């Protein structure tokens, strides 16, 4: 999973797409924002849905999509039309990630209304049926007749209810502790029970950064590089960055990361959205697939 608004350019985007598919990852994702989520507004941005259209044509196998497109600056009917086009380009490999929107500053700076939370959630709830109706009634439709939805978040009253009703995939942000994640799974199960849906139909996972290295030296070297992307890390010594990363994300050797993943796999997680911040570090991606993946397979 890539933050496409943190200085990524088109050359790098093509390289990442080809590398991710070539290494055997399940899927390729990006956020949908108008500028840096770290407040570094001078960083380069590649527009989300333009970049997804390119993924559709640059790859052959992987699924892909936004994690997630906010319904504040993506009108559902227009988004449905765009998504159908991208899905057709890919031969039916797109997943549409849907969210309520949270980043108030980008809305203000681009002149986009940012309603109160209840209204944003109402807009998100209404978006699913609107998009399905477009796909069913307007040509050209997506090759599968519809497009699966990803819903992100852990809000127990409305977000997890939307997951139960509409989603094929569910993602939370950050690395929740195991007990919290277990509780969210139980809440999702109750929402599914209310509408007589099998919760096993929904792929579970969460989105979290990673920091990987074969040795402690490798880990500290990569920890020192994270400050170039993530501002809070700039003034931290590498040892402190690594300590924070161990608390908030997956961090360590391949064996350690596999061990950190296992309790979540036991709760039904089968897709980890791993945020890759060191964009030119192909070796880190190769370590995930060559050494972590076999340990959890």
Residue 247 domain-assigned? Answer: no
CA-nearest of 278, 280, 228 to 249 is 278
Tell me the per-residue pLDDT of 89-142, one tens digit each, with 9 for 90 and over: 999 999 999 999 999 999 999 999 999 999 999 999 999 999 999 999 999 999
Residue 278 domain-assigned? Answer: yes
Return the pLDDT at 10: 97
DSSP 8-state code for residue 157: T
Return the pLDDT at 152: 92
Return the pLDDT at 102: 96
Share of the chain above pLDDT 70, in %: 100
Residue 216 domain-assigned? Answer: no
Tell me the per-residue pLDDT of 281-293, one tens digit each, with 9 for 90 and over: 999 999 999 999 9
Return the pLDDT at 51: 98
- 163: alpha, beta or left, given left = phi > 0 and alpha = psi -120 to 50? alpha
Q: Residue 155's pLDDT band (boundaries 50, 70, 90)?
A: very high
Residue 275 domain-assigned? Answer: yes
Residue 221 domain-assigned? Answer: no
Whole-angstrom Cα distance, residue 280 to residue 2?
12
Report the number of distinct structural domains present in the chain: 1
pTM of the shown model = 0.95
Tell me the CATH number at 50: 3.20.20.30
**Domain of 20?**
10-211+260-283
Report phi then psi at 208, rounded to 5: -150, 150
């Amino acid at each position: 999973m890539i933050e496409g608004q943190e200085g990524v350019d088109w050359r790098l985007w093509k390289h990442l797409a080809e590398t991710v598919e070539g290494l055997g990852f399940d899927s390729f994702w990006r956020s949908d924002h108008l500028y840096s989520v770290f407040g570094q507004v001078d960083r380069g941005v590649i527009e989300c849905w333009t970049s997804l259209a390119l993924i559709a044509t640059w790859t052959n196998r992987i699924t892909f999509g936004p994690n997630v497109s906010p319904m504040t600056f993506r009108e559902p009917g227009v988004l449905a039309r765009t998504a159908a086009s991208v899905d057709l380009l890919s031969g039916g490999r797109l997943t549409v990630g849907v969210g309520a929107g949270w980043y108030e500053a980008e809305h203000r700076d681009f002149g986009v209304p940012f309603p109160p939370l209840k209204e944003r959630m109402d807009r998100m709830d209404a978006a699913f049926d609107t998009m399905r109706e477009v796909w069913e009634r307007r040509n050209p439709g997506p090759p599968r007749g519809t497009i699966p939805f990803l819903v992100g978040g852990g809000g127990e009253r409305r977000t997890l209810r939307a997951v139960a009703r509409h989603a094929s995939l569910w993602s939370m942000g950050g690395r929740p502790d195991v007990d919290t994640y277990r509780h969210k799974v139980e809440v999702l199960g109750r929402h599914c029970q209310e509408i007589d849906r099998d919760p096993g139909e929904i792929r579970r996972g969460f989105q979290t950064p990673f920091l990987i290295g074969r040795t402690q030296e490798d880990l500290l070297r990569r920890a020192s590089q994270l400050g170039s992307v993530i501002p809070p890390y700039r003034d931290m010594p590498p040892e402190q960055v690594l300590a924070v990363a161990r608390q908030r994300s997956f961090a360590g050797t391949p064996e350690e990361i596999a061990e950190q993943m296992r309790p979540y796999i036991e709760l039904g997680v089968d897709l980890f959205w791993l945020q890759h911040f060191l964009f030119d570090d192909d070796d880190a991606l190769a370590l995930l697939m060559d050494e972590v993946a076999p340990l959890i397979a």
